[in-house]
């Protein structure tokens, strides 16, 4: 296959990433209607891991050796248990659009976490300014709700903290992977990460007593299926293909598209509020992202 064909397919993969990861916030919101948050994440990644194992078997490939499992378990914990677990928990208190905008702050945490690792890049004044701009955008986004006080304000605070924990977990896993995990069987490694992430989330849901509140309806079951097949398996393959055949700076643009799709779907389908103040705050966060991480691609998506 020619380079031109690979490039064309890579662009299709990129559009798929934007569409799929932009719609996962809507799917999560719908699924949370009857499926508790940690069990939702657990089911999603256990089912996705099962599909990935089947794909590997069809290709005549095996999972990575047992010696690699502890490392992949740790990455799965930070990237999926904390990462996706924080998102689904936060979305239980926040609108899907607001959650997507807050997840867009991941580059700020990635820069800070990367600098904290031994041998990490030093924070430059430009990056510190970008992080400050992004923090200002977050304050603009949630301060009116927090200032009201009461149960509503506590819910917003819990949601914001949960999403930021998700961003931190994803950033820790990404920085560790970049430094200590050799590139190899990407599909096999992702399968183990999903497997262990799904196990940890399911255990967490069990400890929290979520099974008592679990039920399924047609919309929630379809949303879970969408998150499993498209949000996890298909999007991962598409992201890997796009990253291989397109410049990193181009692939990274999906982080600006996803919140737009999520906010639009939340407004149209879920009738979520999104006013001028929130629009300005989202724009401020986007400016902060541009300042902090010009031309660098995130290591994936926590949704």
Residue 294 has pLDDT above 70, yes or no: no
| Per-position DSSP letters for 152-199, written without gaps between them | HHHHHHHHHHHHHHHHHHHHHHHHHHHHH--S--HHHHHHHHHHHHHH
CB 64, CB 72: distance < 8 Å: yes
User: Is the CB of residue 49 less than 8 Å from the CB of residue 194?
Assistant: yes
pLDDT class of 80 with cuts at 50, 70, 90: very high
What is the reported pLDDT for 299? 52
Higher-confidence residue of 118 and 163: namely 163
| pLDDT tens for each residue of 7-53 | 889 899 999 999 999 999 999 999 999 999 999 999 999 999 999 99
- Cβ distance 226 to 25 under 8 Å? no
Is the residue at 179 inside a domain? yes
Query: Does 103 have pLDDT greater than 80?
Result: yes
What average pLDDT does the chain have?
A: 87
Asked if residue 190 belongs to a domain, the reply is yes
Looking at per-residue confidence, does 74 or 244 come out higher?
A: 74
Q: At CA 43, angle to CA 178 and CA 211, rounded to 5? A: 130
Q: What are phi and psi of 36, to 5 degrees?
A: -60, 155
Q: What is the per-residue pLDDT for 180?
A: 63
Q: Does pLDDT of 130 surpass 60?
A: yes
For residue 297, tell me if it sits in a domain.
Answer: no
pLDDT of residue 249: 65
Residue 298 lies in a domain: no
- The answer to the question of residue 13 being in a domain is yes
Q: How many domains does the chain have?
A: 1
Residue 276, Cβ density class (10 Å: 0-12 exposed, 13-18 middle, ≥19 buried): exposed
Q: What is the mean pLDDT of residues 173-183?
A: 69
Spatial separation of the C-alpha atoms in residues 205 and 61, rounded to whole Å: 32
CA-CA distance, 28 to 20, in Å (whole number)?
Answer: 12
Cα separation, 178 vs 226, whole angstroms: 29
The pLDDT assigned to 182 comes to: 53
Decide: helix, strand or coil at residue 293.
Answer: coil
| pLDDT for the residue numbered 128 | 84
Q: Which residue has the higher pLDDT, 224 or 283?
A: 224
Residue 300 lies in a domain: no
SS3 285: helix
Q: Is the pLDDT of residue 226 over 90?
A: yes
In 32-105, alpha helices (H): 37-58, 69-76, 83-91, 96-103
In the predicted model, what is the mean pLDDT of residues 172-185?
71
Q: Quick check: helix, strand or coil at residue 104?
A: coil
Q: Which domain holds residue 92?
A: 3-292
Report d(CA 76, CA 48) in Å as an integer.
13
Distance, in Å, from the CA atom of 142 to the CA atom of 272, rounded to the nearest integer, reads 15
Q: What percent of the chain has pLDDT over 90?
A: 47
Judged against a pLDDT cut of 80, whether residue 162 lies above it is answered with: yes
**How many other CB atoms sit within 10 Å of the CB of residue 62?**
11
Residue 217 domain-assigned (yes or no): yes
Q: What does each C-alpha distance from 84 to 129, 142, 210 come to in angstroms?
A: 28, 21, 17
Percent of the chain's residues with pLDDT above 70:
92
Instruction: Check residue 274 and give its pLDDT.
Output: 82
Would 302 be classed as within a structural domain? no
**Which of 15-29, 36-50, 137-151, 232-246 has the least mean pLDDT?**
137-151
Is the pLDDT score of 107 beyond 80?
no
């Amino acid at each position: 296959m020619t380079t031109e064909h690979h490039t064309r397919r890579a662009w299709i993969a990129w559009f798929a990433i934007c569409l799929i990861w932009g719609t996962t916030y809507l799917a999560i919101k719908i699924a949370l209607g009857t499926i508790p948050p940690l069990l939702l994440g657990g089911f999603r990644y256990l089912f996705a891991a099962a599909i990935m194992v089947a794909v590997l078997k069809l290709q005549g490939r095996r999972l990575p050796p047992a010696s690699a499992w502890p490392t992949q378990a740790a990455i799965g914990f930070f990237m999926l248990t904390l990462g996706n677990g924080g998102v689904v928990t936060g979305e239980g208190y926040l609108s899907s659009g607001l959650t997507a905008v807050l997840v867009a702050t991941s580059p700020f945490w990635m820069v800070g976490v990367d600098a904290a690792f031994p041998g990490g890049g030093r924070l430059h004044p430009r990056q510190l300014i970008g992080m400050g701009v992004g923090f200002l955008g977050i304050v603009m986004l949630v301060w009116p709700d927090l200032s009201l006080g009461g149960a509503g304000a506590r819910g917003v605070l819990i949601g914001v903290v949960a999403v930021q924990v998700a961003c931190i977990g994803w950033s820790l896993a990404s920085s560790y992977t970049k430094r200590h995990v050799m590139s190899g069987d990407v599909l096999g490694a992702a399968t183990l990460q999903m497997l262990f992430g799904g196990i940890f989330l399911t255990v967490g849901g069990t400890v929290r007593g979520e099974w008592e509140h679990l039920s399924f309806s047609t919309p929630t079951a379809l949303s879970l299926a969408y998150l499993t097949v498209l949000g996890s398996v298909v999007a991962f393959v598409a992201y890997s293909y796009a990253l291989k055949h397109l410049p990193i700076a181009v692939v990274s643009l999906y982080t600006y598209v996803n919140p737009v799709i999520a906010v639009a779907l939340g407004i149209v389908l879920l009738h979520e509020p999104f006013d001028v103040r929130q629009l300005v705050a989202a724009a401020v966060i986007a400016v902060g992202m541009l300042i902090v991480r010009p031309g660098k691609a995130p290591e994936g998506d926590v949704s």
